[in-house]
Amino acid sequence: MQQNMDVLIIGGGVAGLTAAIGLIDQGFKVTLIEGSDSLGGRAQSMTDRTTGERVDLGPHVMVTQYRNMLKLLENLGTEKQVVWQRRPHLILVDKPEPVVMRLRSLPAPLHFAPSMLNVPQVSWADLFSNRRVLWQLMRLDEEGILELDEINAEQHLREMGVSERALDWFWRSAAMTIMNAPLELCSAGALLRFIRYLGGRNDYQVGFAGEGLGDLFAPEAARRIRASGGQVLLDTSVAALVTEDGRELRARFCIVATPLESLLSLVPDDWPLRYETFANLDRFKPSPYICTYLWFAGKLTKEPFWTKVWSPDNLNYDFYDLSNIKPSLAGKSSVIACNCMYSLKSDLLTDEEIVSRTQAEVAEYLPAAAQMEIQHARVHRVPMGIPVPAPGTEKARPDTTTPIPGLYLAGDWINTGLPSSMESAARSGWMAAEQVLAKIGRPCALAQPLPKLTGLAWALGRKGGKQG
């Protein structure tokens, strides 16, 4: 059976659903195909059978500079379901005591300086050892980022004179929590791109989904697609654009918005040899992670989230107490969600071992957790959180357009100018929709521009001719 449509979108995560919304708002009829039984991709939500509560595949944060993701939520009318952090600070768990990093109303990049100068675990000499790399990243442009892409971040930071203590305390922590990869496996260009924007603005807030993360966008986006005359097909596998039940899918345009490994399974074997777009995709390797949920018998903290400073013994890095985030859990016992990044070694642990070690790590910050009963637990093993931002991958990230007529790409891993994230996925979706519209002579600006630097960071970049 042959089925015709305006646009076929393969993949029902943030990227695919954003592209769909961008196109149906312009009058297109879209068919969206998702291989699993639910929408949302790596940001999907599900109901826990024991507690009846909505949980996510893995917890994520949003920031006010996620302009493309917030545009999607505003379009869907769900932006008010985001719970924003009231006090702009970050708790870093380290011995002998946790460190509280507060965002000050100083020109960027000085907004974290007062907190950094009072960190007892790091000497002033260690902080001063970062001076060359901080000067460099404030003046970087896209060309400079790509030049650094072939170098691993650990090597580059050593060459710039960063001390061993500063490497361990700040840079290894940042690589694991932000880039989901060890520092020595991370592209220097990719890491400095993100730190540049983090240090270049002082006006961001951190937010969380008020209930299920996927519930913010997936149900309403699916309703909109169907209401516009389109289709959402779940549990539908695609091979060479033919479904398992033999339906041939023909569309004027096709947007592939899948994780990278799924795209590679659809691409003919000769495309990497014939087209540069697909030539280097094998450089991307998955960064797996494990998300653990612990339902404790009592209340442990009033804090919404904290993170651990890097240690070779760490299992988890990010911790969230959902009872301080979700309105439906307010006043109830603590529900802690934790993320184990780059979990290649941890995948060898049993679920019981992961739960036990996670409880011990929660107790490093909240000692009462060591003896408190865990009433329920669940462990999610995710084969790919994001692609590892390894040296050379920034240059290998493909554009939205491809040499194949009518075929476009979307996903957090394409060339969006952002690290792989929900924001990158959303921006790629808007970009793909823009390309389809441009192709038919209806150019339309949908993707939000990248945030500009502010304060001293802006002045330094401007003076050096490097403002991106």
46 DSSP β-pair partners: 55
pLDDT at 197 over 50: yes
pLDDT at 330 over 90: yes
The chain-wide mean pLDDT, for the chain, equals 89
Specify the higher pLDDT residue, 113 or 383. 383
| Residue 107: band (very low, low, confident or very high) from pLDDT cuts 50, 70, 90 | low
Q: DSSP labels for 33-79? A: E-SSSSSSGGG-EEE-TTT--EEESS---EETT-HHHHHHHHHHT-G
* Residue found by looking up tokens 């209806």 in the block: 442
149-153, 238-242, 382-386, range with greatest mean pLDDT: 149-153
Compute CA distances 418 → 197, 215, 235, 351, whole Å.
10, 24, 30, 33
**Tokens, residue 247:** 């339906």
| Residue 200: band (very low, low, confident or very high) from pLDDT cuts 50, 70, 90 | low
User: Nearest Cα to 217, choosing from 337, 66, 46, 45?
Assistant: 45
What is the tens place of the pLDDT at every residue in 341-361?
999 989 899 999 999 999 999
CB atoms within 10 A of CB 6: 18
Tell me what pLDDT residue 94 has.
92
Average pLDDT over residues 242-249: 46
pLDDT at 108 over 70: no
> Within 13 A of 244's CA, how many CA atoms are on the CB side?
8
Distance separating alpha carbons of residues 181 and 341, to the nearest angstrom: 7
H or E segment to which residue 255 belongs = strand 248-256
CATH number of 286-387: 3.90.660.20
Distance separating alpha carbons of residues 159 and 155, to the nearest angstrom: 6
Distance separating alpha carbons of residues 64 and 303, to the nearest angstrom: 20
| Residue 241: band (very low, low, confident or very high) from pLDDT cuts 50, 70, 90 | very low
Specify the higher pLDDT residue, 226 or 100. 226
What is the tens place of the pLDDT at every residue in 69-91?
999 999 999 999 999 987 767 88
Tell me what pLDDT residue 261 has.
84
CATH C-level class of 2-58+216-283+394-439: alpha beta
| Residue 139: band (very low, low, confident or very high) from pLDDT cuts 50, 70, 90 | confident
Specify the higher pLDDT residue, 362 or 96. 362
Specify the higher pLDDT residue, 118 or 47. 47
Contact call for residues 208 and 304 (beta carbons, < 8 A):
yes
Tell me what pLDDT residue 460 has.
61
| Residue 173: band (very low, low, confident or very high) from pLDDT cuts 50, 70, 90 | very high
Distance separating alpha carbons of residues 87 and 97, to the nearest angstrom: 20
Distance separating alpha carbons of residues 410 and 10, to the nearest angstrom: 10
Beta strand segments in 200-297, E: 206-209, 231-233, 238-239, 242-243, 248-256, 286-296
Contact call for residues 148 and 187 (beta carbons, < 8 A):
yes
Q: Please state, for a pLDDT cut of 90, what percent of the chain lies above it.
A: 69
Q: DSSP labels for 281-301? A: GGG--EEEEEEEEEEESS---
Contact call for residues 36 and 235 (beta carbons, < 8 A):
yes
Contact call for residues 3 and 29 (beta carbons, < 8 A):
no
pLDDT at 456 over 90: no
Q: What is the number of H-type helices and E-type strands within the chain? A: 17, 19
Domain residue ranges of the chain, discontinuous segments joined by +: 2-58+216-283+394-439, 113-203, 286-387
Tell me what pLDDT residue 349 has.
96
What is the tens place of the pLDDT at every residue in 16-31?
999 999 999 999 999 9
Looking only at the bridges linking them, the beta strands covering 238-239 and 335-340 are unpaired
